[in-house]
Amino acid sequence: MADEGNIISDLNLDQPVPNGEDTAPAIGLISQYIKDLSVENPNAPESYQWTEAPEMHVDFNIGARTIAPEVHEIELKINVTSKGAQGTAFIVELAYGALVGMRNVTDDQAHPFLFAECPRLVFPFARRIIADAVRDAGYPPLMLEPIDFNGLYYAQMQQQADLAAGAPAGEA
């Protein structure tokens, strides 16, 4: 039988594993939560009788910040306003947060994930909260259309690159 030696000491466990297993990029959604939810129904119950179809205005914004070296928070803000000739029917404002864990991810990879992919992942949950809030305010549930966060992100990055290069936005 050959001398096997001390296999444990030969592994050099305090060094990175040669196959890169401990240095591979990893991203995971840790949790999701409502940071702020506001529902205003200023003209109820009269607004339930309005016959004119209201105009819907939907605005959204995405923010991100570092909580710890490997933990980031994204915040998806969605504001919905329903107005008609008689006035405002309802306003719903939602700030929806998510904690994201990231390890061994470069800034070039982290930025698009935080500002495009993560909002895409949590949007269905925020959409449901808004639909329920509108329904609970006495109106039919409002089902927001899906948003192409990736397309918007890359369009915004292109616009910033154009501005940095001195070209007017939209020209390539």
Are 65 and 73 within 8 A, CB to CB?
yes
pLDDT in tens, 17-48: 555 556 788 899 999 999 999 999 999 999 99
Q: Which CATH number fits domain 32-142: 3.40.50.1580, 1.20.1740.10, 3.10.420.10, 3.40.640.10?
A: 3.10.420.10
pLDDT in tens, 79-128: 999 999 999 999 999 999 999 999 999 989 999 999 999 999 999 999 99
Domain regions of the chain by residue span: 32-142
Joined together, the tokens standing for residue 136 give 């609970």
- What are 28's strand-pairing partners? 101
Q: What is the pTM of this model?
A: 0.79
Contacts of 131 (CB under 8 A, 6+ apart): 141, 142, 143, 144
